[in-house]
Amino acid sequence: MAFAFDRHANAVGVHFCALLEKIYFQHLPDLRLRHMIYRWKVVTGANKEIGLEIVKRLASNGIKVVLTARDEKRGREAVKKLTEFDASDQVVFHQLDVADSASVASLADFIKTQFGKLDILVNNAGVLGVKLDGEVLLSPSNIDVEFEARWSKAITETYELAEECLQINYYGAKRIADALIPLLQLSVSPRIVNVSASLGKLEKVKNEWAKSVFSGAETLTEEKIDEVLSEFLKDFKGGLLASKDWPTFLSSYTLSKAAMNAYTRILASMYPSFRINSVCPGYVKTDMNLNTGILTVEEGAASAVKLALLPNGGPSGLFFIRSEVSKL
């Protein structure tokens, strides 16, 4: 016997379904039976803003979500915030530092033990890779200055921050994907959404060698991406970014997102039954940009949610800017 839950019910319906599930869950000790009823999702960097909004929207539609965050206190507080949306019953918290292999392994073991599979992964965790001077950025004298010129006055990039940016934005997403793909393979409709940025478009990467690697169709590999990022860091340390035609504005952030877009294509090719895409949510008002964005978190989260819920046979291996496919 099994209940047929309507995953597109309204908030009241979803809450009622959650109560039924709690009762029925006691009679499902076998994880293979749970596979038939539940859809499980992981969102990284989900304790606030876009990540939290993605969690809220999917949980409100009846999907069980594992909300992750590096800071345990903030993560648990985020789950509590969802109570006002009747979504907290659908959400569990697990601490995750995407830069820490042991932390990633702990999450994978938790999902395997508790749920037995995974249906959706959203890689949202990320950093800007700079030291940002808020007073300069928000200065009235800079308000009408062109975007890049305005930001260039307010940021400081260091080798240590660049290295951290790559470790979190690209290698962190890669660690999570590598650890959770075996569980995603147990799903009938596996989805991976990598939250990227328009700065990761290849037009922002002037280094011709790096651009040729990232744009390669048949020749692109993870090892070649590693070579590009290693060379970038070497030139950063040597003060050679400009002379080697690397990005000099938000340089590590740009490279991390270009690498993520390339990695998305690799994964989509390796796992044709998955739907795997990367998406720029737009310039969203967040703490990262001191709320200088033009979109709300609700608007920013919408595109990632749409890709997370793609039907079987939907697009894969593509880069979206909000809801539109974009050239890399």
Q: Does the pLDDT of residue 5 top 70, yes or no?
A: no
Residue 328's pLDDT is: 85
Greater confidence (1 vs 169) lies with 169
Per-residue model confidence as pLDDT tens digits over 263-290: 999 999 999 999 999 999 999 999 999 9
Q: For residues 14 and 63, what is the distance between their CA atoms, to the nearest angstrom?
A: 9
What's the whole-number mean pLDDT along residues 15-44?
55
Lowest-pLDDT range of 28-32, 102-106, 245-249, 321-325? 28-32
Residue 314's pLDDT is: 97
Task: Quote the percentage of the chain above a pLDDT of 70.
Answer: 88
**Which residues form the catalytic set?**
253
Q: Does the pLDDT of residue 24 top 80, yes or no?
A: no
User: Domain 11-126+167-198+256-326: which topology?
Assistant: Rossmann fold (3.40.50)
Structural domain spans, the chain: 11-126+167-198+256-326
Q: Residues, the chain, total?
A: 328
Per-residue model confidence as pLDDT tens digits over 91-145: 999 999 999 999 999 999 999 999 999 999 999 999 999 999 999 999 999 888 9
